[in-house]
Chain A
C-alpha cells in the first residue's frame, strides 16, 4: 500500500506531553519529509532528511524534533514547546535527485489533537 506508512492515524495529546508520530517507507527512497497541513495554510515543511543521521529544519521547525537512524524511518516528535500542535501531519519521501522528475510519495497522514 503506497510504500509509506504513517501511524497512528489519530493521536490525542494532553497539554505538556511530547508525542511521536511514526513514518516508515519501503520505497528505498533517500529523502524523507514532514509537512503540517492546516486549513487555508496548505502544506508547510517542518523537517526533512536526505541521508541517514542528517536532517534540516524546514519553515516551521520550532517545537518539533526528528531523527533519522535508519533509511526507512523518519519519526517526528511534537514537543510541549509546540504552541499549537493540533493539525494533520503528512510524511513524504522521494528519490534524491529524482524529485524534479517524480515529485514525492505521501503517507496517509496522522491527525493530532490536543485535549
Chain B
C-alpha cells in the first residue's frame, strides 16, 4: 500500500532559521514524490517535484530511498513561507496521487 507520513502537524521557526519539513513514504516500487504548498486563501500548488531536481523559492528536497524519505529543506526561512505543506507520492501506472496529512509552517518574525 502507498502511504505518506508527515510527522509534524505544526512547525514554527524564526525568520532566517533553517527549515526542514519531514516526509516519509511507504511504497514497494519506485515512486515519484512531490511537495505541494497552500498559502492562505490560495489554491494548492505544486512547489517542487523529485523528478526535476529543481529548487523553488529556495526550497530543495532530496529523495533518500534507503530511509524512504523526501524531506523539504530551506536554509533561511522567510515570513512568506508560512503556509500548509503537503508531501505526495505517485506510483507506477495511472494510480492517483496520495497525500500526507500536511504540516503547517509558521515563520515568526
Does B109 sit within 8 A of A, measured CB to CB? no
Shortest C-beta distance, A69 to chain B (Å), equals: 21
A50, A96, A101 pick with most chain B CB within 10 angstroms: A101
B90 touches A100 (CB 8 A): yes
B43 touches A108 (CB 8 A): yes
| A58-B96, A97-B94, A106-B44 given; A43·B86 CB < 8 A | yes
A2, A33, A42, A96 pick with most chain B CB within 10 angstroms: A42
Q: Which residues of A contact B86 (CB under 8 A)?
A: 42-43
Q: How far is the CA of A49 from the CA of B94 in the complex (A)?
A: 11
| A48-B96, A90-B44, A96-B94 given; A41·B101 CB < 8 A | yes
Which of these, B32, B49, B92, B94, contacts A50 with CB under 8 Å? B94
Q: How far is the CA of A31 from the CA of B49 in the complex (A)?
A: 19
Chain B residue total in the interface (Cβ 8 A): 23
Does A82 sit within 8 A of B, measured CB to CB? no
Number of A-B contacts (CB under 8 A): 55
Does A99 sit within 8 A of B, measured CB to CB? yes
Q: How far is the CA of A97 from the CA of B6 in the complex (A)?
A: 26
B99 touches A100 (CB 8 A): no
Shortest C-beta distance, B85 to chain A (Å), equals: 11
Q: Interface size bucket, A side?
A: 20 to 34
Q: Which residues of B contact A33 (CB under 8 A)?
A: 96-97
A45 touches B96 (CB 8 A): yes
Q: How far is the CA of A40 from the CA of B102 in the complex (A)?
A: 7
Which of these, B9, B32, B45, B100, contacts A100 with CB under 8 Å? B32
Q: Which residues of B contact A99 (CB under 8 A)?
A: 90, 94, 97
Q: How far is the CA of A45 from the CA of B90 in the complex (A)?
A: 13
A40 touches B96 (CB 8 A): no
Chain B residues with a Cβ under 8 A of chain A: 6, 9, 32, 34, 36, 43-46, 49, 51, 86, 88, 90, 92, 94, 96-102
Q: Would you mind naming 5 contact pairs between A and B with Cβ atoms under 8 Å apart?
A: A58-B96, A96-B94, A100-B92, A101-B49, A104-B46
